[in-house]
């Protein structure tokens, strides 16, 4: 981390192991790297999350001091984001309803009293979609079955990716290109976590994410992101 960004003695160690935090009153905006994400999950609800790191260190978190706030605006609705601390990882959240349509604008504003503000990190929502296959009643053999996946609203310019997670499998992921509404996960691509799980059956959640990147306010350190995601999931049965 750059010493010029931080006041001497300002770092507070959290849980000693991995994460540290620093009060925002002890760091300039130019020493913060933002990670700003909006996720629409298909229920009509979107969750905006803001996280600030010291320079580009992913385990050094900025904790907003009194007088500093981060505000999310979706369309014409504005909310001051609420602080969350999970094992020392500090972030800020706000939820919105009915503001997940393609093109809906989101703005993250960091408002500060001790240094310059960063009022304009902006992004718009990507095109929503629906996973049509597989369905929740489907069952696939890891060794014998390829998984055909289909979804609606294809042909978009935004990045598209998939991941699969389950108790008896190794998590795996990949990109989807071209975005033509279907792709296949080859047999064997989803494997057991280890030999003890080779004969196990479990539920696997397939996630597809469409990501659109926006513009980060220029007052932050370089390397930050602001992005909006359309996330869809389906859970099916995975057999040996």
Q: Give the architecture (CATH level 2) of 3-126+213-230.
A: Sandwich (2.60)
- Parts of the chain belonging to CATH 2.60.40.10: 3-126+213-230
What mean pLDDT value characterizes the chain? 92
Any idea of the CA torsion for 230, 234, 235, 240, to the nearest 10 degrees?
-100
pLDDT value at position 2? 38
pTM above 0.75, yes or no: yes
pLDDT value at position 145? 96
Give the residue among 217, 57, 71, 210 at the shortest CA–CA distance from 128.
Answer: 210
Give the residue among 124, 177, 179 at the shortest CA–CA distance from 151.
Answer: 179
Residue 224 CA to residue 214 CA, distance in Å, equals 11
Listed in sequence order, the residues at least 6 apart from 215 whose beta carbon sits closer than 8 Å to its beta carbon are: 120, 121, 122, 123, 226
pLDDT value at position 18? 67
CB atoms within 10 A of CB 215: 10
- Look at the domain 131-211+232-239 and name its fold: Immunoglobulin-like (2.60.40)
pLDDT value at position 154? 98
Residue 211 CA to residue 9 CA, distance in Å, equals 39
pLDDT value at position 19? 84
Residue 238 CA to residue 6 CA, distance in Å, equals 50
**Per-residue confidence in pLDDT tens, the chain, 240 aa:** 333 333 333 334 334 446 899 999 999 999 999 999 999 999 999 999 999 999 988 899 999 999 999 999 999 999 999 999 999 999 999 999 999 999 999 999 999 998 999 999 999 999 999 999 999 999 999 999 999 999 999 999 999 999 999 999 999 999 999 999 999 999 999 999 999 999 999 999 999 999 999 999 999 999 999 999 999 999 999 999
Among left, alpha and beta (phi > 0; psi -120 to 50; other), residue 42 is left
pLDDT value at position 106? 98
CB 207 within 8 A of CB 233: yes
């Amino acid at each position: 981390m750059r010493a010029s960004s931080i006041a001497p003695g300002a770092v507070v160690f959290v849980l000693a192991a991995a994460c540290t935090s620093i009060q925002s009153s002890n760091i300039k905006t130019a020493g913060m790297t933002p990670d700003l994400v909006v996720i629409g999950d298909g229920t009509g609800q979107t969750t905006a999350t803001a996280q600030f790191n010291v320079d580009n260190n992913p385990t050094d978190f900025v904790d907003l001091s009194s007088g500093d706030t981060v505000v999310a605006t979706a369309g014409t609705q504005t909310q001051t984001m609420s602080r969350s601390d999970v094992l020392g990882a500090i972030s800020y959240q706000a939820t919105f309803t009915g503001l997940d349509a393609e093109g809906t604008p989101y703005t993250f504003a960091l408002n500060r009293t001790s240094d310059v503000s960063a009022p304009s990190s902006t992004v718009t929502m990507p095109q929503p979609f629906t996973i049509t296959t597989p369905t929740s009643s489907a069952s696939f053999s890891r060794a014998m079955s390829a998984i055909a996946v289909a979804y609606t609203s294809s042909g978009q310019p935004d990045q598209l990716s998939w991941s699969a997670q389950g108790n008896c499998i190794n998590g795996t992921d990949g990109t989807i290109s071209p975005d033509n509404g279907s792709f296949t996960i080859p047999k064997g691509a989803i494997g057991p976590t280890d030999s003890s799980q080779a004969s196990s059956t479990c539920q696997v959640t397939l996630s597809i994410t469409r990501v659109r990147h926006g513009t980060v306010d220029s007052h932050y350190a370089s390397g930050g992101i602001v992005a909006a995601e359309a996330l869809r999931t389906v859970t099916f049965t995975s057999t040996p």
